[in-house]
């Protein structure tokens, strides 16, 4: 009886492992063969790398530029502002989507949603590149700092739902089982980028850390 149970578990595990391998393989083929899906995944991964760098390092930069007695109020202000920026991005996309559907009587077209996705990515990347360039040239970037961080946070409210919607729209119906796998490729590539580039992207000090932010922003 015990032997039968063990053998049954081995067979079940073998079947599950084989099925998971098949899903991963098919998902990768769909990802590799579709230029649209490939582009969406790479843009999303690059944006998430920018977002992670900015989220992790803006407190480091802020602490290096603010007197210790004033750090708390500035930190709270930036934390609240970044949260509001992300919420605002999601709200703007939601309002625009509802307006489009009301005016046209149809769901949002993929081409239009792609423009939002790519345009918002550029909206996030360009201010970070400018901030990095100004810092590298010895300019005082403290006032421009928030103007670079907040667009990155705003973009999250647009890019995250747009990415999931577009990927689901472009995946063929006969590959519905691989949807979750293909969606996860963005996070996988973002993790690889972070592992390879997190140290140079972090800069050499708190005051100059924004120079390194040019690396993920340039990829995006």
Pair 78, 58: CB distance under 8 Å: yes
Pair 161, 116: CB distance under 8 Å: no
Provide, rounded to the nearest whole percent, the portion of the chain with pLDDT above 90. Answer: 21
Q: What pLDDT shows up at residue 200?
A: 83
Residue 64 token pair: 């290096």
Distance CA 151, CA 213 (A): 14
Sign of CA dihedral 133, 50, 37, 25: positive
Q: What pLDDT shows up at residue 74?
A: 81
Residue 87 token pair: 């919420």
Q: What pLDDT shows up at residue 198?
A: 81
Q: What pLDDT shows up at residue 21?
A: 56
Distance CA 62, CA 70 (A): 10
Q: What pLDDT shows up at residue 193?
A: 84
Weakly modelled stretches of the chain, pLDDT under 50: 2-10
If we measure between CA atoms, which residue out of 155, 43, 152, 146 comes closest to residue 89? Answer: 155
Q: What are 68-105's pLDDT values in tens digits?
A: 777 788 888 888 999 999 999 888 888 888 887 777 76
């Amino acid at each position: 009886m015990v032997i039968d149970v063990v053998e049954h578990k081995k067979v079940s595990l073998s079947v599950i492992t084989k099925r998971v391998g098949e899903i991963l393989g098919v998902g990768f083929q769909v990802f590799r063969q579709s230029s649209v899906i490939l582009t969406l995944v790479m843009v999303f991964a690059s944006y998430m790398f920018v977002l992670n760098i900015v989220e992790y390092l803006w407190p480091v930069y802020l602490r290096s530029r603010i007197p210790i007695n004033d750090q708390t109020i500035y930190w709270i202000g930036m934390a609240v502002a970044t949260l509001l920026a992300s919420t605002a991005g999601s709200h703007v996309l939601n309002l625009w989507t509802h307006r489009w559907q009301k005016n046209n009587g149809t769901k949002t077209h993929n081409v239009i949603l792609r423009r939002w996705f790519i345009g918002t990515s550029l909206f996030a990347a360009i201010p970070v590149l400018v901030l990095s360039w100004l810092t590298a040239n010895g300019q005082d970037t403290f006032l421009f700092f928030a103007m670079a961080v907040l667009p990155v946070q705003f973009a999250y409210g647009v890019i995250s739902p747009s990415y999931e919607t577009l990927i689901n729209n472009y995946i063929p119906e006969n590959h519905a089982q691989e949807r979750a796998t293909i969606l996860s490729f963005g996070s996988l590539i973002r993790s690889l980028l972070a592992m390879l580039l997190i140290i140079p992207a972090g800069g050499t000090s708190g005051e100059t850390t924004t120079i390194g932010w040019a690396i993920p922003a340039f990829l995006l």
